[in-house]
A = this chain, B = another copy of it.
Amino acid sequence: MKRNKRDILERLNAGEVIVGDGGMVLQLERRGYVKAGHWTPEAAVQNPEAVRQLHREFLRAGADVLQTFTFYCSDDKLELSGNVTNITGAQINEAACDLAREVADEGNALVAGCVSQTPCYLSNRNETEVKSLFKKQMDEFLKKDIDFFIAEFFRYAEEAAWAVQVLKTSGKTVGATLCISPHGDMNGLPPGECAVHLVKAGADIVGVNCHLDPTACIQTVKLMKEGLDKAGLKGHLMIQPLGCQTPECNLTGYISLPEYPFALECRTLTRWDVHKYAREAYDAGIRYIGGCCGFEAYHIRAISEELRAERGFLPPASEKHGLWGAGLELHTKPWVRARAQREYWENLLPASGRPKCPSMATPADE
């Protein structure tokens, strides 16, 4: 049995780079197992083989953490969605823990039990109610073999802090990521203050996920770091950005783009974009580096490959990938062989193949 005994905090404290996993819901939507608009994770019960396989791809790409496929799996959200009627939230949460654990144990990965923002918070901001939703999910996770918790995809630092407070009662490590822009959370709280709020609530790791591209997310995490530094607080930094280019996005992120959610293909990051991202995130002092919606296995592998020197190893999936395109060296066309080098891919400006389309859209919240 290969279980790594050292937990996430030990490893971060030791200065290790932790590679996160990629996005589950968007990818499983494309594979046919998640319904867009609902984005609920009933596939953990209905199609476990599909969830298991996606976990496995991330593991193979070098992910040190597999997040349970429990996005939007609070009871209020499931009820509101109405997408599943014969399965309970408890069933999904428990099945998701088993799936993540099973695959994590095929390698060396940790399992993070994940909670996310609740409709309840938006409708009444009742702390007791919201916390009881998180408590229920946590209790379901704790029936299973979970290594630590992540509270992710929160638009409001306040709600995220409530989640952190609940999850910390387990005694386990807790990470918290907001889906916010450099402008701050939806209450206008700047990133630096958000980070302080989360650390004070007990978060061991703080950062951002989803909603915006790597460039914007790195900027936001830097502001979080500045906030923590100013406040004299310690906290590990974490980043799991969108796998799409969103240069024109504002507060509400890619949801305000006209292409959301069914025409985002043109914006997808290449693996080379991810190399750049991973390096910049590392240079910004972030040590938990993963992805969210749009990050597929090959994007996670690109993080692992960019940071192979820092981590000391390549992931299993690199057996099927020549670094910087080296696998093209034996192509029959000389012009393709010429692409088997870092300089080529780093400098390429990829064309969209869509001359009647623009390169930027007008966000709906502008």
Contact = CB atoms under 8 A, between A and B. Distances in A.
Interface residues of A, number: 85
A261 B321 CA distance: 12
A56 interface: yes
A359 B350 contact: no
Interface in A328-366: 328-333, 335-336, 339-340, 345, 348-362, 364-365
A351 B345 contact: no
Interface stretch (A129-137, A183-191, A240-248, A278-286): A240-248
Contact of A357 (B246, B255, B263, B358): B358
A116 to B, nearest CB: 14
Interface residues of A: mostly helix, strand, loop or mixed?
loop
Interface string A31-71: 11111111000000000011001001100110000000000
A353 B270 contact: no
Contact of A56 (B49, B256, B301): B49
A352 B349 contact: no
Copies in the complex: 4
A160 interface: no
A88 interface: no
B263 A320 contact: no
B32 A60 contact: yes
Contacts of A15: none
B270 A262 contact: yes
Interface of A: 29-38, 49-50, 53, 56-57, 60-61, 80-81, 122, 213, 244-248, 252, 255-272, 296-298, 301, 316-317, 319-322, 325, 327-333, 335-336, 339-340, 345, 348-362, 364-365
Enumerate the 4 nearest inter-chain pairs by beta-carbon distance, A residue then B residue, closest first: A32-B317, A245-B353, A37-B327, A355-B360
